[in-house]
Structure formats: structure tokens, C-alpha cells
Amino acid sequence: MKPLFYRLILITSGCVLAGCNRTFVVPETVDSSVSASGPVSFNTHIQPILSENCYHCHGPDSGTREPEKEPLRLDREKYAFENRADGKPVIVKGDAGASLLVRLLKSKDPDEMMPPPKSHKELTPDQIAMIERWVDQGAIYEEHWSFIPPKRPEIPSSEAAINPVDTEHHVTGTANMRCVQLSRFL
């Protein structure tokens, strides 16, 4: 009994380890599948950019938050739209041109550009354009994805079905018809 058990463990662990020798490629760019006129989602498009490049200094950790005299948080809507010392918010909803955030992201001056050179982080032009579009569209913050109730996707039409499984089971309903036909013979 014991030798069989050990053989099974060896075989199982060998299969698991063989499956672990895979290379994963992490995309470095933001999902650019959003059309130029489509809505930009905070959770899908903006949050990953801010999390990677901005939250170290402007996120939830109060110990690293900057600037020291007037710390800025970009991870919470309440704080991102608060008026600053100059009487204006960092993000002006619907007006990227008037938003300090966009101006600092586009700046080439090392003393004011964001992220600062000392962070060794840099946003791509596509990422800056995505943030700019988000601000122009009203800078809508979304709840964390885990608090948003799931929605059932729409069933694709037969023309939109890419996979034969989609067409057979969802669009034409032949799976249900086959079950009915089989039940007649049983």
C-alpha cells in the first residue's frame, strides 16, 4: 500500500512541477481596446496606472504620502476632488486642460513633473492620454470591483458568435433540443 501511495505522490508532484515551468508575459501598456470615443473605466483603465505609478506617494499609506504640507490622495474620490491651497482641486471633472493632475503628468520640468524622476517611473503617452480622456469624461471613480454586483452578459447573436460553442449552446438552443430528443428515447 505504501509504495503505491509514494508512487502516486511522485507522479502527481512531477505533473505539477512540469506545469510550473511556463513563462508568463505581463503587458506593460494599459488596455487600449477602448475606442477613442468609448467610456474610460476607472477600475479597468485608470486604477492600474495610478496604482503602479502614483499610489506610493499619493495612495493609502499615510507614511509615504506627499507633499508633506498638504498630502494628496488619488485612491479615494473624496480626496482627489478636494480644493487645495490655491482653491482648486487637482482633478477638475470634465476639463483635463484645467486639471493640475494632467498638467503635471505632461510637464517636462523635472521640478514639477509627475511621477518625479527620483521615482524612476514614467507614464507612456498612451497612459497620459487615457487619464486625460477619463478626466474629460467626468473623472468618474468606481467602487472596488468586489463591491459591484455581477451582471449576466447578454447572449450573443448568431452573427456575433465567434466560437461554435457559443452558437450551438447559447444562440440556437440546440443543446436543449438535443436533451429533449434524447429524453424521448429513454
Tens of pLDDT, residues 141-185: 999 889 999 998 887 666 666 666 655 555 555 555 555 555 555
Grid coordinates 494632467 are at which residue?
A: 102
- Cell numbers describing residue 97: 486642460
Identify the pLDDT of residue 155: 72
CA distance readout (Å), 154 to 43, 158, 165: 21, 12, 15
Identify the pLDDT of residue 153: 83
pLDDT tens digits, residue range 5-35? 666 676 766 555 555 444 444 444 444 456 6
Residue type, 186: L
pLDDT tens digits, residue range 40-78? 999 999 999 999 999 999 999 999 999 988 999 999 999
Task: Give the span between the Cα atoms of 158 and 58, in whole angstroms.
Answer: 47
Q: Examine the pLDDT at 123 and tell me if it is beyond 50.
A: yes
DSSP string, the chain: -HHHHHHHHHHHHHHHHHHT--------S--TTS-TTSPPPIIIIIHHHHHHHTHHHHSS-TTT-S-SSS---SSSHHHHTSB-TTSSBSS-TT-GGG-HHHHHHH---TTT-SS-GGGT----HHHHHHHHHHHHTT------GGGSPP-PPPPPPTTT--SHHIIIIIIS-HHHHHHHHHHHH-
Q: Examine the pLDDT at 130 and tell me if it is beyond 70.
A: yes
Identify the pLDDT of residue 1: 55
Mean pLDDT within 97-122: 95
Task: Give the span between the Cα atoms of 149 and 8, in whole angstroms.
Answer: 42
- Beta-carbon contacts of residue 91 (< 8 Å; ≥ 6 apart): 80, 81, 99, 100, 101, 135, 139
pLDDT band (50, 70, 90) for residue 97: very high
Identify the pLDDT of residue 18: 54
